[in-house]
Structure 1
Amino acid sequence: MPECLPDELRSLFLFESLSDEQLGRLCVGGRAAEVEPGPLFAEGDPATCLYVLLDGEVALTKRSGGTEIETIRTTQRGAYFGAWTAFLDEAQTYETSARATAPSRLFMIDAASLGAFLRTEFPMACHMLVGATVGRSNQSRIVGPHDRLLQLSQLTAGLTHELNNPAAAAARATAELRTRVGGLRHKLALLADGTMSLASMRVLVTLSDEVAAALPAPHSLTPLEKSDREEALGDWLDGYGVGDAWDTAAVFAEAGLDTGWLDRVRAAMADSGGMLDHAVRWLAYTVETELLMTEIAGATQRISALVGQAKQYSQLDRAPYDVADVGALLRDTLAMLSHTLGPDVTVVTDFDDTVPPLPCWPAELNQVWTNLIDNAVYAMRSAGGGAPVGTLTVRTRRVGDRARVEICDDGPGVPEDLRTRVFDPFFTTRPVGEGSGLGLDFAARTVDKHHGSLWVESIPGDTRFITLLPLTAPTDSPAEGQRRTHHG
């Protein structure tokens, strides 16, 4: 069969407007070939050829951190890859690796011939392409790291704020605990020097042990019930001449104790010779000590949970490609952004528990959610005028063999003429200096890499960025490769 068929080339979108003479020139420098599944070229090698898909399927990958990440897989006739920057004068290298994933036919054009063809047939277009390519490369090189640092600083500020609250609570409770332990020692010395019998002391110790054991359990008192109990305890303590009766009553009410428990304390002190006041205060110190230790434990658990959420968000302790619960990823992202969201945004989560874990790059999906949520919040705040701006809704659903994720806001909406452009690189509606226009572009490319789809639906008051992700991995994905390795 002929190596190049001009009529076949003209049926492809890339060549449809070329003349017979131009197609003839391309055929001189190119040829059609059939290839079996396997590598076509490797990232970093000299770019010697432009490939155009005539039939079959190809996949492109890019290295990141020692891992080959699939960026696109296509069966579209006319899809081109390889030496696509042949219009540049200097020698180029392949920016990705490519492989045929099925028996395929390709039209392969020598890069040098293609470069000469483009520069002679379309000189003005080549000048503009050179300017656009170099300009975007410089922009990405300069703005990209700054954009990532800005996002990191925002997340760090939010995490620092969230960690500061439980850390301050733990420090405050520790200082108060030291004071209460000092008072506890003082009251214990007074009791030991007094006329309390050994039997009464044992009962008192038993009562304090019971309180310590019961305190970690939650008490289901309503605020009104707690207030009533505090009043009853205060009346009881005041009636028996206990000093600071109402302050002590508040401590006992917080611990869920009642006047029946105080009756047991009074019975234990019957032969103590007026030591009831000291005994009650000693028990109050015991209760306060336990309450403060519970507060410290809760604060440290909150710190540990935040650190865990930060690890989950960044996926520092997981493989780059893994199976993850998309609902958990969204929760971690919201936790990391809680300070950024602030009190002016109401967050509603509506997660479908039937969505199973899916194969993915979890850290990259978290960045997708971050960009989409940031975009939604900015849209609401830009129209909020400083007042509470609206509601952010994060929703998941299972749709057949795919997971559907919706990031919704009730802001002003995306105008119809912009909906096809919001995913373009460097396109932004934010003021100069406030956005690089790369967030939604990154989101779209990442979802494409997961063989999913991302689009926007919008009317004023209801804007939804919708992601569909497959629940099963492609046969040649990293997950399937690991599975074959483990079972091979």
Structure 2
Amino acid sequence: MQTVTIDWLKKIEVLQDIPDAQLQWFIDMSEDRSFADGDYVLEPGQALTGPHILLEGKMRFFVMQSGSMREYLIFEPGAITGYLPFSRAKISSSYVQAIGELRMLMFPTAHIHDMITQNFELTQALVHIMSNRVREFANFQQQGEKMMALGKLSAGLAHELNNPASAIVRDSSTLIKHVQLSPEVFKDRFSIKLSPETVDTLSDTFFAIISKERPLAPGLKQRTALEDKLGDWLDDNDIDHAWEIAENFVDYNFSIDNLDALAAIIPEAYRSPLFNWMATKLCAEKMMGDIRESARRIAELVNSVKNFTHMDQGQDKQYADIHKGIANTLTMLGYKIRKGNIEIVQDYDLSLPPVNAVIGELNQVWTNLIDNALDAMEPTKKGVLTIRTKKDGEFVEVTITDNGPGIPAEVQSKVFDPFFTTKEMGKGTGMGLEVVHRIVDQHKGTVKLKSKPGETAFVVCFPING
């Protein structure tokens, strides 16, 4: 068993220059305690004690997230942990567990005041440890929250990209099928003999029909009924592939009267190949339009990702329009918004000047607040998310409001605490709002919560000129 002496303590780097008398005082005041493998030294909600020095064995720090253990620190012999002088943390937010046989020198927290007033060098060394620990823990939290945000965005983006990508594959396959010529079709179309006058009349009539402004797409029931009517007409007029091509005419809102007008111009012998040719052209035009729109949608999503993450910009502050960041965030969360049947109300002060900020970090703020609001409104089946911006003197104010059930008054003071969450197991990490608070604080701003049943608002305020 390791005997704790002044010389042993001085092997710990931060204690090397501490006067012997102060180290001996620490030894004399402390208790030598042991823990068996797997014992819990501390659990969430318990008061922090210490400081403590590990003598033998190891100690694991972890939190429970999504029903599983997430380890973030392991201390080995020589590590100093526990409550440290001037620390604002009073209660543990994590589990602390022994790995192997653990032995610690445990200083009684009740004598921290004596340490501060009588042992300056020792206190100074422990405060230095606390500063490093806070920085490391903040980095851990921020990295973890970024990974959680990335996971959420990746899931939504996969859904967003899947639809236009699938449409391109489907429409291109259909397009190839319709433009391919068989020998029979080739002969049919090139055997058509029409007078110039008939061609002009047919052209004028056909393009007059398809150039009309089309009404909103009919519902499935109406569309099916229209396809049946047009299919019957094409079949009655001995048009080949009548039921296959009927849907192409429906896409362009053809009526029976339109088909009658075209049939009256075309000699009976040429009606089948010409109606099939027209249907093929209509289908090809629609498919190319759908492919163009799908490709545009993919390009828009990629551009939104680029702007959201600020991929081609540095991480220093720069002037930018916060409305673009909010818009990109809404795009990233578009699938979740549609899935939740959420109405978005955007009330923006468009006279706001560009703000000086780290845009990538601000986008993380909007993501966490909007994503939390969407989760809160999920039970309503018809939520309303309101985003307002306004100029308040030299500050910009962004308010994100949802009409969910609200946050109980008794827990509102805890929402910005690390690992605190009101979400059910497996949904929340308890880190999102802490990260929001920290990022806004780094921008010299504030974030406030106002909540009552049916209305929860987070108000973010920070200087325009940073």
Partner of 1:158: 156
Aligned residues of 1:187 and 1:282 also touching (Cα < 8 A):
no
Larger deviation: 299-308 or 131-140? 131-140
Paired AA for residue 253 in structure 1: V
Deviation at 1:222, TM superposition (A): 5.8
Aligned residues of 2:388 and 2:398 also touching (Cα < 8 A):
yes
Partner of 1:243: 240
Paired AA for residue 346 in structure 1: I
Aligned residues of 1:398 and 1:404 also touching (Cα < 8 A):
yes
TM-score, normalization: structure 1?
0.60
Match of 2:388 among 396, 402, 413: 396
Partner of 1:446: 439
What SS is found at the alignment partner of 1:257?
Answer: coil
Mapping 1:86-105, distance limit 5 Å: none
Deviation at 1:345, TM superposition (A): 5.5
Distance 1:299 1:421, change over 3 A: same
Paired AA for residue 440 in structure 1: L
Partner of 2:251: 254
Aligned residues of 1:143 and 1:436 also touching (Cα < 8 A):
no
Deviations 1:25-54 (A, max 9, x none): xxxxxxxxxxxxxxxxxxxxxxxxxxxxxx
What SS is found at the alignment partner of 1:171?
Answer: helix
Mapping 1:422-441, distance limit 5 Å: 422-425=415-418, 427-429=420-422, 437-441=430-434
Deviation at 1:151, TM superposition (A): 1.9
Deviation at 1:343, TM superposition (A): 1.9
Mapping 1:61-210, distance limit 5 Å: 118=116, 120=118, 133=131, 135-183=133-181, 187-192=185-190, 194=191, 196-197=193-194, 199=196, 202-203=199-200, 206=203, 210=207
Distance 1:323 1:263, change over 3 A: farther
**Unpaired stretches in structure 2, ≥5 consecutive residues:** 1-83, 88-113
Deviation at 1:455, TM superposition (A): 0.2
Deviations 1:179-229 (A, max 9, x none): 10115875343121x352464895599469948x957x8612562886786
Partner of 1:265: 262
Deviation at 1:318, TM superposition (A): 4.7
Matches of 2:387 and 2:355, distance apart in 1: 19
Deviation at 1:367, TM superposition (A): 0.6
Partner of 2:413: 420
Deviation at 1:263, TM superposition (A): 4.5
Matches of 1:375 and 1:393, distance apart in 2: 11
Matches of 1:324 and 1:300, distance apart in 2: 28
Paired AA for residue 151 in structure 1: A
Partner of 1:324: 320
Deviations 1:94-142 (A, max 9, x none): xxxxxxxxxxxxxxxxxxxxxx994735799879857755554443444
Distance 1:398 1:134, change over 3 A: closer
Matches of 1:195 and 1:455, distance apart in 2: 75
Matches of 2:139 and 2:396, distance apart in 1: 34
Aligned residues of 1:87 and 1:130 also touching (Cα < 8 A):
no
Matches of 2:289 and 2:199, distance apart in 1: 25
Paired AA for residue 395 in structure 1: I
Deviation at 1:467, TM superposition (A): 1.6
Matches of 2:417 and 2:123, distance apart in 1: 20
Match of 1:376 among 361, 373, 380: 373
Distance 1:126 1:168, change over 3 A: same
Matches of 1:437 and 1:229, distance apart in 2: 54
Deviation at 1:252, TM superposition (A): 1.1
Distance 1:415 1:253, change over 3 A: closer
Partner of 1:42: none
What SS is found at the alignment partner of 1:371?
Answer: helix
Match of 1:456 among 438, 446, 449: 449
Paired AA for residue 365 in structure 2: V
Distance 1:141 1:467, change over 3 A: closer
Q: Do structure 1's residue 465 and structure 2's residue 458 form an aligned pair?
A: yes
Aligned residues of 2:141 and 2:435 also touching (Cα < 8 A):
no
Paired AA for residue 170 in structure 2: R
Q: Do structure 1's residue 219 and structure 2's residue 211 form an aligned pair?
A: no
What SS is found at the alignment partner of 1:274?
Answer: helix
Matches of 2:337 and 2:256, distance apart in 1: 45
Paired AA for residue 407 in structure 1: I
Matches of 1:310 and 1:200, distance apart in 2: 55
Q: Do structure 1's residue 286 and structure 2's residue 285 form an aligned pair?
A: no
Distance 1:365 1:233, change over 3 A: same
Matches of 1:175 and 1:86, distance apart in 2: 70
Partner of 2:335: 339
Distance 1:453 1:146, change over 3 A: closer
Deviation at 1:373, TM superposition (A): 2.0
**Unpaired stretches in structure 1, ≥5 consecutive residues:** 1-84, 89-115, 478-488
Paired AA for residue 274 in structure 2: A
Aligned residues of 1:327 and 1:396 also touching (Cα < 8 A):
no
Distance 1:258 1:434, change over 3 A: closer
Matches of 1:269 and 1:151, distance apart in 2: 62
| RMSD of aligned alpha carbons | 4.1
Deviations 1:144-175 (A, max 9, x none): 43332232122122212210110001100111
How many aligned positions are there? 352
Matches of 1:127 and 1:417, distance apart in 2: 38
Aligned residues of 1:327 and 1:351 also touching (Cα < 8 A):
no
Distance 1:122 1:441, change over 3 A: farther
Matches of 2:165 and 2:214, distance apart in 1: 25
* Percent identity of paired positions between Structure 1 and Structure 2: 28
TM-score, normalization: structure 2?
0.63
Distance 1:333 1:221, change over 3 A: closer
